[in-house]
Amino acid sequence: MMIKQGIPVSPGVAIGPAFIMGNEDYRIPQRFVRIDDVEKELQRLDAAIEQVCFELGEHEELASDRLGKQYGAIFAAHQQLIQDPKMISEIRELIQDKCFSPEYATSKVLEQYAKLFQSLGNQYFAERSADIVDLQHRMLKHLLGERREDLSNLTEPVLILANNLTPSETANLDKKHVLGFVTEAGGRTSHTAILAGALEIPAIVGVGEFLSNVSGGEMIIIDGYHGELIIDPDEAVLERFTASRQRHFEEQERLKTYADLVPETRDGERITLMGNIEFPQEVEHCVERGADGVGLYRTEFLYLQEGKEPTEQVHYEAYCEVVQSMQGRPVVIRTLDLGADKIPGALEKVLLQNSNPMLGLRSIRLSLQNQPLFKTQLRAILRAAMLGDIRIMFPLVSTLRELRQARMLLSDVMEDLEDEGIEFRRDVPVGMMVEVPSAAILAEEFAREVDFFSIGTNDLIQYTLAVDRADPSVANLYSAGDPAVIRLIQQVVQAAHRENKPVTVCGQMSSEPRFLPLLIGLGIRQVSVTPAMIPELKEVIRNLDVKHANEISSHVSGLDSARDVENYLRGELHKICPAYAVDF
Ligand code: PEP
Ligand code: MG
């Protein structure tokens, strides 16, 4: 049994067999084949070599066409290497003489070669060693085939283990078969982590290296409350977590009773509690928990799921589905926030060239530089707004000029629709996310030009503290409790109030029960959260009074470290809601 610690990003307990995604650096266990099967296994090896050669041939052609012959030659060299008679006969001998499985024999021989090249200690040989590792991955992909690689062929529930999952890979996980996931990389508010919340499956990210200690099919436990990954648990541990999974289900049932209760504090202050969604289907999660609306619809997932640019009709249908399901309640549609870690195939070539994607062509910047793409979305939003209370929100606005440009384009789109005689709503409220320090600092100026603000703490924390939100090696520096972040939020709330504009918090901070009393103390009356958290947050609100929330915020203003703030808030939450801090 082995226990690894990571960052818990979606609560719950999952127990099941491991499914390893991606084949970098995982250990191939020593497996044997029956002597009668040796011939069949040798044929499997030959078939894998043939498939790898074919694949390399295709890459050679593609690279030569697109980049030039010298790049195609890299793959031709790989082809030669994998057909090297000496290397192949060494692998075959291990299968024939020792009855090793082709997977194990291949990884053993290629690893030896890679190490040998590495030990020769010069750049040229080090690169050849990397070539061999690459070939090993290709061979294993074919040998292990669908058993490990192809998620679409899953027939039984599994727990996904991966070095990293891109937001689009995560968006395409099928909840029927995926009970939870764990990644070596990733941070608390990386988009992969956010999607785990959307899928409502237990997940842990940022565990650091562990894939070399686990093999496919091994029994795994994911504790999404405490961030523990348990590989090959013993009987007692398995029993303990089976019980804790049962308690989680029971707690979910108990919290369902909150669906029809109003999120109102003990002294009668009504808090607007909305849901964040990434996919139209999630709107159901909001409705069943009694959300007051959708406070953030991350529309870029239309791109990430489809892998290509959606047509106006695809946008339109998605927005109609959401707004109609919300039955008159508001739906805040955020325009595309592509870039950074959210890169669809169609834009890969442009965006992957950014040396620092978080500071590069992302979000509203990308939309303003790709006007046809942006206008297509704006048309669909304005048309769908005929069906209900839709509001438009621009992400990552960092200058007034950007905001004005975006508004100008919106006016152009209205004119186009009018000229074409297409029905749309003209008086759609237009708001912006405050998630860059420059927008927070100039909040008053921005507030005069928008109908509402929504504070995106996930990015505001990363840009204020200069900490990559997806990087586990600096995760200890990433905290919503940092005094600088709290001061900025306070300034934004005050500026919005001075201009009489509503302000919501839609970053993950508002989904964390310990921060909610502080936000209310800072003057926030609207939040938009992970739908699964709505019942817990309702419970916190209904046990809180605003006087206490104000005391919390004044106390926090005197603290000067994130750790002190977080500890203090944890203690106050326990006082407000002793039932909440249940340790599963
Ligand atoms: C945020 O930055 O807080 C936010 C809500 O946007 P996203 O997480 O999609 O970047
Ligand atoms: Mg953001």
User: Does 403 fall in a domain?
Assistant: yes
Same domain assignment for residues 445 and 475: yes
- pLDDT band of residue 41 (cuts 50, 70, 90) is very high
Q: With 80 as the cut, is the pLDDT of residue 448 above it?
A: yes
State yes or no: is 191 an active-site residue.
yes
User: Does 265 fall in a domain?
Assistant: no
Query: What is the C-alpha to C-alpha distance for residues 360 and 89, in angstroms, rounded to an integer?
Result: 50
507: domain CATH number is: 3.20.20.60
Domain termination residue (choose one: 147, 180, 207)? 147
Q: With 60 as the cut, is the pLDDT of residue 465 above it?
A: yes
Same domain assignment for residues 343 and 232: no
Same domain assignment for residues 54 and 114: yes
Q: What is the pLDDT of residue 148?
A: 44
What order do you get walking across the sheet with 7-10 strand by strand? 2-5, 228-231, 219-223, 13-21, 158-162, 178-183, 203-205, 7-10
Q: What is the pLDDT of residue 350?
A: 59
Q: List, in sequence order, every residue forming a beta bridge with 431; answer none if it has no partner.
A: 393, 452
Query: Average of pLDDT values for 222-240?
Result: 95
Query: Ligand 1 centroid vs 470 CA: distance in angstroms?
Result: 12
Which residue's CA lies nearest to atom 7 of ligand 1? 458
Q: List the catalytic residue out of 142, 191, 315, 548.
A: 191
pLDDT for 500-536, tens place per residue? 999 999 999 999 999 999 999 999 999 999 999 999 9
Helix axis angle, 123-144 relative to 38-67, nearest 10°?
120
47: domain CATH number is: 1.10.274.10
- Integer-rounded Cα Rg, in Å, for the chain is 26
Same domain assignment for residues 458 and 567: yes
- Report the atom number in ligand 1 closest to the C-alpha of 194: 8
Same domain assignment for residues 244 and 218: yes
Query: Average of pLDDT values for 168-190?
Result: 87
Instruction: Out of 189, 455, 460, give the residue to mutate to test ligand 1, the one with the largest number of ligand atoms within 8 Å of its CB.
Output: 189
Same domain assignment for residues 84 and 169: no
Same domain assignment for residues 398 and 489: no
204: domain CATH number is: 3.50.30.10
Q: Could you give the maximum distance between any two Cα atoms of the chain, in Å?
A: 82
Which residue's CA lies nearest to atom 9 of ligand 1? 298
User: Does 293 fall in a domain?
Assistant: no
Same domain assignment for residues 321 and 335: yes
- pLDDT band of residue 22 (cuts 50, 70, 90) is low
User: Does 283 fall in a domain?
Assistant: no
- pLDDT band of residue 353 (cuts 50, 70, 90) is low
Same domain assignment for residues 322 and 403: yes
pLDDT for 390-423, tens place per residue? 999 999 999 999 999 999 999 999 999 999 999 9
User: Does 69 fall in a domain?
Assistant: yes
The number of distinct structural domains making up the chain is 4
Instruction: Out of 436, 461, 506, 509, give the residue to mutate to test ligand 1, the one with the largest number of ligand atoms within 8 Å of its CB.
Output: 506
- Among candidate residues 574, 96, 244, the one with its CA nearest the CA of residue 233: 244
Query: Ligand 1 centroid vs 442 CA: distance in angstroms?
Result: 19
User: Does 216 fall in a domain?
Assistant: yes
- pLDDT band of residue 145 (cuts 50, 70, 90) is low
Same domain assignment for residues 417 and 434: no
User: Do residues 504 and 295 touch, judged by C-beta distance below 8 A?
Assistant: yes
Q: List the catalytic residue out of 286, 320, 506, 577.
A: 506
Same domain assignment for residues 476 and 364: no
Domain termination residue (choose one: 425, 451, 466)? 425
Tell me if 334 CB under 6 Å of ligand 1.
no
Query: What is the C-alpha to C-alpha distance for residues 201 and 173, in angstroms, rounded to an integer?
Result: 11
Tell me if 435 CB under 6 Å of ligand 1.
yes
Query: What is the C-alpha to C-alpha distance for residues 433 and 397, in angstroms, rounded to an integer?
Result: 7
Query: Average of pLDDT values for 321-347?
Result: 87
Tell me which residue range forms the domain holding 532: 429-579
Exposed e or buried b for every residue in 493-517, given b needs 16+ CB within 10 A?
Answer: bebbeebebebbbbbbbbbbbbbbb
User: Does 571 fall in a domain?
Assistant: yes
Domain termination residue (choose one: 107, 125, 147)? 147
Percent above pLDDT 90 for the chain: 67
Query: Average of pLDDT values for 84-95?
Result: 95
Same domain assignment for residues 305 and 216: no
Highest mean pLDDT among 62-76, 344-358, 463-477: 463-477
Cβ contacts of residue 170 below 8 Å, gap of 6+?
181, 191, 192, 195, 196, 199
User: Does 276 fall in a domain?
Assistant: no
- Report the atom number in ligand 1 closest to the C-alpha of 340: 10
User: Residues with beta carbon < 5 A to ion ligand 2?
Assistant: 435, 456, 459
What is the pTM assigned to this prediction? 0.79
User: Do residues 125 and 144 touch, judged by C-beta distance below 8 A?
Assistant: no
Tell me if 507 CB under 6 Å of ligand 1.
yes
Query: What is the C-alpha to C-alpha distance for residues 317 and 135, in angstroms, rounded to an integer?
Result: 44
State yes or no: is 506 an active-site residue.
yes
Query: Ligand 1 centroid vs 99 CA: distance in angstroms?
Result: 53
